[in-house]
Amino acid sequence: MPDPTLLHLRLARLRSQHLTDGSRLKTDVASVAAATCALQAQAFDAARHQVRVRSVGLTAAAVDRAFEHERSVVRTWLMRGTLHLCAAADVRWLLDVFGPAVNQFGASQRRNLGLDDATCARGVVAIRKALAHGPMARRQIRERLVSAGVLEEPVGQTLLHLLYHAAALGVVCSGPRMGRDDSFVLVDDWVAKSRGPRGDAALAELARRYFAAYGPAGAADFAAWSGLRQPVIRAAMTAIGSELVEFPGPIRGLWTLGPVAEVGDIARPDVRLLGHFDTFLLGYRRREHLGDAQAEAWIHDGGGGWIRPVICVDGWIAGGWRMEQTGGQVHVKVMPFDRISRRADAAIGREVAWIGRFVEKPATWSRGPLVGFGSVNAAPRTRRRRGS
């Protein structure tokens, strides 16, 4: 059961993440990405749903247009060395902060694959030449690098790690899909030049964005979300120290960017269906305040590093869900850990209708069998695969 003393904290984080009825954004895709600093996007559909749950009036098609045609958002490796979707206006200063860390993340693997400094330098030159005329599918880049003598067949993981290196240097980023293949483009060709903070000012801006989007949060949360080292985290927080306000409550050492308004009476529950890899789940070092062991078991079930979709009721993870598309409609199956109050049905219905508008298809929903690991009426729990 959720700890009632932490309700204020959960609701404050929902508001910071633009996940309450009153805080959803009526704006464009790039602004939604900027409001969270960046959206985790190793699965592009996961990024779409992170936009959906934080916005009003946007559609999945609008996210695709922003990425592939308007180029107002960019997909590249940033926090924790993971693919993220960020505003195009932010990509250069974010790379200034994360590029060295991303490069360091992959250094040992490159060495293990035989990608020494000289080979990497030759590879980046060859990639620049290959992409000089626009987007190119990954398989085509592989052919060019093999032809240039940079890589040898079988290529294996060397191509991906060379592209990862080039992205960390700010040379390439993800481009539009080409059939079933990913493509890459030159950042300078794909994204308009922008003036952003650099050096210490970029670190300060990162801290500012983080505590605006994830606060109340602590230094350990900031470090876990960013993947940056503790000395860097301390320097960034010190730079904006006068802007941070300690959050009142039973957990000390949590900060917000400016004061947080008191929580009034909750007229109706805030229910959100969060998709895979939602930043609400990945923005903090620990999640005990958001859910219990049942939630963690569901989130990680299946292993492979996947973060599964959850139902969030007033900031508490109350179950999982999945969406099935058949023909011209979608159906959402809601699977609570325990019995979610029927008081939440109307809110679930509104959220499902929101999903329907986002994917531009009629949407229905139903309750599935309880996955609820402590419920008397729960269906038997599926055995988890080894390594999950």
Q: Which two tokens stand for residue 39?
A: 């959206």
Hey, which bits of the chain come out as E strands? 39-40, 73-77, 83-87, 136-137, 172-174, 183-186, 244-246, 255-257, 271-274, 310-313, 316-326, 329-336, 363-367
CA angle, 276 then 83 then 312, to 5°: 25
pLDDT tens column, 84-119: 999 999 999 999 999 999 999 999 999 999 999 999
pLDDT tens column, 48-74: 999 999 999 999 999 999 999 999 999
Spatial distance between the Cα atoms of 69 and 175, rounded to a whole number of angstroms:
10
Backbone angles phi, psi at 137, to 5 degrees: -65, 150
Q: What is the pTM of this model?
A: 0.91
Closest to 225 measured CA to CA, from 245, 242, 203, 210: 210
Q: Which two tokens stand for residue 21?
A: 């009825």
Spatial distance between the Cα atoms of 231 and 114, rounded to a whole number of angstroms:
31
pLDDT tens column, 130-188: 999 999 999 999 999 999 999 999 999 999 999 999 999 999 999 998 988 889 999 99
The CA R_g of the chain, rounded to the nearest whole Å, is 22
* Residue linked to tokens 């098609």: 61
Q: What is the mean pLDDT of residues 263-283?
A: 85
Confidence category of residue 320, pLDDT binned at 50, 70, 90:
very high
Q: Is 318 helix (H, G, I), strand (E, B) or coil?
A: strand
pLDDT tens column, 213-246: 999 999 999 999 999 999 999 999 999 999 999 9
Q: Which of 37-51, 92-106, 269-283, 288-302 has the lowest mean pLDDT?
A: 288-302
CB atoms within 10 A of CB 187: 21
Q: Which two tokens stand for residue 127?
A: 């990639």
Q: What is the mean pLDDT of residues 1-29?
A: 92
* Residue linked to tokens 């979709």: 309
Q: Are strands 329-336 and 363-367 parallel, antiparallel or unpaired?
A: parallel
What's the chain's average pLDDT? 91
Spatial distance between the Cα atoms of 285 and 208, rounded to a whole number of angstroms:
18
In the chain, where the domains are located: 4-190, 200-257, 291-367
> DSSP letters of 194-261?
-----THHHHHHHHHHHHHHH-SB-HHHHHHHH---HHHHHHHHHHTGGGEEEPPSSS-S-EEES--P
pLDDT tens column, 354-368: 999 999 999 999 988
At a CB cut-off of 8 Å and minimum separation 6, what does 74 contact? Answer: 67, 85, 86, 87, 88, 91, 173, 174, 187, 190, 191
Fold type of domain 200-257: Arc Repressor Mutant, subunit A (1.10.10)
pLDDT score of 23 more than 90: yes
CB atoms within 10 A of CB 293: 11
Name the more confident of 384 and 116.
116
Q: Residue 24: what pLDDT?
A: 95
Q: Which two tokens stand for residue 117?
A: 């400094």
Q: Residue 195: what pLDDT?
A: 84
Angle of helix 219-226 relative to helix 200-214, nearest 10 degrees, comes to: 110
Closest to 251 measured CA to CA, from 207, 221, 208: 221
At a CB cut-off of 8 Å and minimum separation 6, what does 147 contact? Answer: none
Q: Residue 378: what pLDDT?
A: 38
Backbone angles phi, psi at 174, to 5 degrees: -65, 145
